[in-house]
Structure 1
Amino acid sequence: MSDLPTKVGVYGGGRMGAGIAHAFLIKGSDVIIVESSGDAAGAARTRVEASLAKAAERGALGAAGTLTVTTDAACLGGTELVIEAVPELPRLKADVLATIEKAAPDAVVGTNTSSLSIDSLANALAVPGRLIGLHFFNPVPASALIEIVVGPRTDPALVTRARKWVFDLGKTGITVTDSPGFASSRLGVLLALEAMRMLDEGVATAEDIDAAMTLGYRHPAGPLRTTDIVGLDVRLDIAEHLERTLGPRFAPPSVLREKVAAGKLGRKTGEGFYTW
């Protein structure tokens, strides 16, 4: 029997937020997405509905919950779980988390951060023990992994609940302590940065570097193609954070900075290390 919350909030309806909403909807939870503007809310609804339509075509939809998209955070009242899925900007995330706590005083608060300190983000809450990291992976519907990140003040009982939620979503959870980059971003970014340096030094083409990992190590996608999917700007933000916290081995290569400055952010802009 599923123990998933019957009512879930997602603050932020971009690619990740829409994917998180999809994951809960197809398991029967009712989902409320909060966005910053009417246009953003409309785009979020379109993303989720398109994703659900694809699931229906594959016969993977089942009895979906109801979707509400709004710009009013007060609509989060009565939710059992609210996950923030806004960009990796500490101030923005802290402001959103404080808004969530005020709007949903009884809810568990989750953050989808891929690299920021859970304990630092918890400072935005009156009750820091309510916060847990739930790091989903892109694309959420197809990804099998969720990283459960435990801060030093996270309520231990919440960790047990989070593991059950992840299982009920049909995904595999790994539990990590709060540390820069956690497990996934720390490993994934380091590999991607070295691939970028190899490309910059003319060691091999992007296609051949990626083939080394997909064919030689059975990675589903190479580090450069994965960077295009994640977004070069996202990878740059994470790398800069890891450089500050873990040292120069995470220093972003010049090729990454140059592409981001030129607006070549990967799949979402049509060009990154590949043309999409």
Structure 2
Amino acid sequence: MRELDSIERVGVVGAGTMGNGIAQVAATAGYDVVMRDIEEEFVESGLDSIEGSLSRLVDSEKLTGEESTAARERVTGTTDLTDLADCDFVVEAAVENMDIKQDIFADLDEAVPEDVVLATNTSTLSVTSIASATERPELVVGLHFMNPVPVMKGVELVVGEHTDDDVTALAHDFAEELGKETWESDDKPGFVSNRILMPWINEGIRAFDEGVAAKDDIDRGMKLGTNVPMGPLELADHIGLDICLDATQTLHEELGDRYTPAYLLKRKVEAGDLGKKSGRGFYEYD
């Protein structure tokens, strides 16, 4: 296993919202980054997102223009997984699907040196099952970043059945190098964050669907009553209703009826009302 001070080049698999966010914070922390996705248009979209995010940080005076330019120049995009062969640490941030993640990890196992740690950004899936696709399960760990990655300080570290203690320690240290704070979870369904968060969102949707209160009042009540920045319906829109449904269904399969997805959540996903990314969820967006 490589030591923290030997990590210079970071690989990120996935150029979507989470992937490009992880690539951005790694580059801002001074690492060279190779960001890979399966289509050139996805890679270019991810690079554009990084540039836009860095520009906003300059506008808000959280970065200088020079720091922003340097961070952007550290990120290279590719569609070729073998371009990650020189990376010292790899984070996978692909779609939340076990078969896809296992395929990626099997390919990564062949593409990068055998002493490189492979981290997954999964939010609900078993790290142990993902690691089983490799010949290095002791070097596989969960690093669940929060969305939006450049803004949120927290990273959930998930320890698989075979994850080595030194890998766990390295993952904590690496996240802290990116300016994050960590908490640790065993490899149980939903980990800490989604095991608690998804029922909260799901019950908020049920309360709205059953006429307990208007959506604005549900969100306002939770913000004022529990001091959270977003209510459950706002947060569901922000995360993406399809992602919330996938996570809740995974928890339902693993943990039973207490995690049954709300009917209205399923109906909205079927209608294509996915939240901010589609322009309409529980609220409407420009």
TM-score bracket, normalised by the shorter chain, equals: over 0.9
Matches within 5 A, 1:36-47: 36-47=38-49
2:236 is the alignment partner of 1:227: yes
Kept in 2: contact 1:243–1:251 (CA 8 A) = yes
Q: Equivalent residue of 1:28, what SS?
A: coil
Kept in 2: contact 1:133–1:148 (CA 8 A) = yes
Residue identity in the other structure for 1:128: P
Cα distance between partner residues in 1 of 2:143 and 2:245: 21
1:200 CA displacement: 0.6
1:59 CA displacement: 3.2
Could you list the runs of 5+ residues in structure 1 that have no partner in the other structure?
Answer: none
Which of 107, 118, 125 is 1:109 aligned to?
118
Counterpart for residue 215 of structure 1? 224
2:152 is the alignment partner of 1:150: no
Cα distance between partner residues in 2 of 1:92 and 1:216: 40
Counterpart for residue 93 of structure 1? 101
2:208 is the alignment partner of 1:199: yes
Kept in 1: contact 2:6–2:88 (CA 8 A) = no
Cα distance between partner residues in 2 of 1:102 and 1:110: 15
Aligned length: 275
Residue identity in the other structure for 1:22: Q
CA deviation string 1:130-161 (max 9, x = no partner): 11000001000110100000011001101111
Cα distance between partner residues in 1 of 2:145 and 2:220: 25
- TM-score w.r.t. length of structure 2: 0.93
Cα distance between partner residues in 2 of 1:4 and 1:133: 20
Cα distance between partner residues in 1 of 2:58 and 2:74: 15
Cα distance between partner residues in 2 of 1:204 and 1:69: 47
CA deviation string 1:36-58 (max 9, x = no partner): 01111111111111112222223
Q: Equivalent residue of 2:44, what SS?
A: helix
1:177 CA displacement: 0.6
- TM-score w.r.t. length of structure 1: 0.96
Counterpart for residue 14 of structure 1? 16
Kept in 1: contact 2:205–2:233 (CA 8 A) = yes
Cα distance between partner residues in 2 of 1:210 and 1:56: 31
Could you list the runs of 5+ residues in structure 2 that have no partner in the other structure?
Answer: none
Counterpart for residue 79 of structure 2? 71
CA deviation string 1:97-152 (max 9, x = no partner): 11222111232100000000111111111111111000001000110100000011
1:3 CA displacement: 4.5
| CA-based RMSD | 1.3
Kept in 2: contact 1:4–1:29 (CA 8 A) = no
Question: Percent of aligned pairs with the same residue?
Answer: 40
